[in-house]
Amino acid sequence: MLFGVSTLCFSKGNIFVEGKDKLPIKAQNFINYSFGAERIVYVKESRSIFLRKKFLAVFSNGMKIEFDSRGNWVDIKFVKDGLPNNIVSQKILDYLKENYVSAFILELEKMSRNMLRVLLSNKRELYFNQFGDRVFIDV
């Protein structure tokens, strides 16, 4: 019960703002480079119980990108046509091209500094290490 009370006391809530200029510069640069043509509908800024900022950029095409306080992407979810190939390493792209020809990437999530989770359109979850080697498949 005490933990629940402290969560409420330290939570700052969500702040909804318009425009990518409210994101950290690193996040803005990432969006401009990888998704320059896409329009951001809103940005949500939130803080954890430890007062760490997180940002969520929601795009008009349904895509959502979560960033940490420094502007590093943490999670990318795309609803329609998959993610641009320039976000994923060539080694991972080659593996997917060879083993999952008709599938495309729906979501990328950095599980840690050394682990990347890839959700494909065929609902397969693949896990890759920092070198682009597949280490696990969740079927």
Give CA–CA dist 127/95, Å, rounded.
Answer: 12
Q: What is the mean pLDDT of residues 31-41?
A: 88
Contact call for residues 75 and 107 (beta carbons, < 8 A): yes
Over residues 63-118, the pLDDT tens digits come to 999 999 999 999 999 866 667 767 888 999 999 999 999 988 889 999 988 899 99
Give the DSSP letter of residue 51: -
* Rg of the chain on CA atoms, in Å: 17
| Domains by residue range for the chain, with CATH | 1-58 (no CATH), 81-139 (3.40.1420.30)
Partners of residue 125 on adjacent β-strands:
119, 138
pLDDT band for position 16 (cuts 50, 70, 90): low
Contact 93, 120 (CB under 8 A): no
